[in-house]
Amino acid sequence: MTYRVVVGVDGSPASAAALSWATEEAGLRGAELVAWTVLDRPESRLAADTVGGQTSRPSSGESAGGYPVAIRQSHGDAGAELVAACADADADLFVVGSRGRGPLAGLVLGSVSRTCLAHAPCPVVVVRPQPEQPPSHRRVIVGVDGSGHARQALRVAAEEAGLRDAPLAVVHAVYWDNIGTELLTPTVEQLVEWGHKLVAVELAATGVTGTPVVEHGHATEVLVRHSADADLLVLGSRGHNPVAGLLLGSTSEHCARYAHCPVMVTHATGKRPAAGRAQAFMQGEVK
């Protein structure tokens, strides 16, 4: 089956960065690329101009990077429409800008981007605005904590590193609030040692090759710091609630907001069944 990448486009700098990243990812995978924009009302004619300006063509054609791209549009609530678009297109990956107030419905983390992270039926990549020529660090990092969703993230991160011929850093943060203040609390050295054992178990369980990075500190701080010299940070979700959607942890949401590189949030089983509006879209209940 053909791998399909869908990217949300709204004319903002973050949207342009998302389109650029999605184009590169599609090229690495030989995938289909679909640029999807959401209008706030059916009669708006901004979509063709906005998407055309960012992809170089007003309809299907080539992206700014010269990669073939199909352009689609719908109207309504941006978050719900983009989630439905992922289901409609059977997307394997969805890419969205971290924030932006373009001439179309803005893709703002905390609203549209967060909705997509919570409800999209596939892994989601959040991309922040980038310099005109963003540096290439040729390094992928993944956060692990011994959970099933982190193990799936490790597998995905290994695949992404392989696509880029880049080394994979497997990051685990250890932290204990009361180190040195209680009789039986572990030392930092013991925590780090246990962390290395955990990473070794995860690497053995998945058959992935990576460099363990175990540090004492809050997971969000450690991961954001390491993202400064990475091309991609991969994290797992905390699971899925049929009503609420993806259960975003504080770590994944914080990193999506503040990491210095694009952040991919995966699901424990890869692509997952669409829920809510996306399910209705697939069943023809939403036009």
Judge whether 176 lies within some domain. yes
Judgement on whether residues 71 and 149 belong to the same structural domain of the protein: no
Q: Which amino acid is at 239?
A: G
Residue 183 has a pLDDT of: 53
Judgement on whether residues 252 and 155 belong to the same structural domain of the protein: yes
Judgement on whether residues 34 and 116 belong to the same structural domain of the protein: yes
Judgement on whether residues 110 and 167 belong to the same structural domain of the protein: no
Judgement on whether residues 47 and 150 belong to the same structural domain of the protein: no
Torsion angle defined by CA atoms of residues 268, 270, 271 and 274, in that order, rounded to the nearest 10 degrees: 0
End residue of a domain, out of 87, 122, 157: 122
End residue of a domain, out of 94, 122, 150: 122
Domain count, the chain: 2
Burial profile 119-146: b = 16 or more Cβ within 10 angstroms, e = fewer: bbbbbbbbbbbbeeeeeebebbbbbbbe
Judgement on whether residues 110 and 169 belong to the same structural domain of the protein: no
How much is the pTM?
0.83
Judgement on whether residues 113 and 146 belong to the same structural domain of the protein: no
Judge whether 10 lies within some domain. yes
Judgement on whether residues 108 and 152 belong to the same structural domain of the protein: no
Judge whether 274 lies within some domain. no
Per DSSP, the three-state class of 110 is: coil
Judge whether 213 lies within some domain. yes
CATH number at residue 78: 3.40.50.620
Judgement on whether residues 118 and 155 belong to the same structural domain of the protein: no
Q: What is the pLDDT of residues 22-70, one digit of tens each?
A: 999 999 999 999 999 998 766 555 544 555 555 544 445 565 566 889 9
Judge whether 276 lies within some domain. no
Query: Which single residue is written with the structure tokens 């419905």?
Result: 105
Judge whether 183 lies within some domain. yes
Q: What is the pLDDT of residues 87-136, one digit of tens each?
A: 999 999 999 998 755 544 444 455 788 888 888 999 999 998 876 666 77
Select the more confidently predicted residue: 21 or 267: 21
Judge whether 246 lies within some domain. yes
Judgement on whether residues 174 and 235 belong to the same structural domain of the protein: yes
Closest CA to 265 of 94, 97, 42: 94
Residue 58 has a pLDDT of: 41
- 182 vs 166: CA distance, rounded Å: 43
Containing structural domain, residue 151? 140-266
Q: What is the pLDDT of residues 194-250, one digit of tens each?
A: 999 999 999 999 999 999 999 999 999 999 999 999 999 999 987 444 444 444 567
Judgement on whether residues 169 and 60 belong to the same structural domain of the protein: no
Q: Bridge-partner residues for 70, per DSSP?
A: 34
Structure token digits, residue 61: 């054609």
Judge whether 83 lies within some domain. yes
End residue of a domain, out of 67, 93, 122: 122
Judgement on whether residues 157 and 40 belong to the same structural domain of the protein: no
Q: Which of 58-62, 165-169, 263-267 has the highest mean pLDDT?
A: 165-169
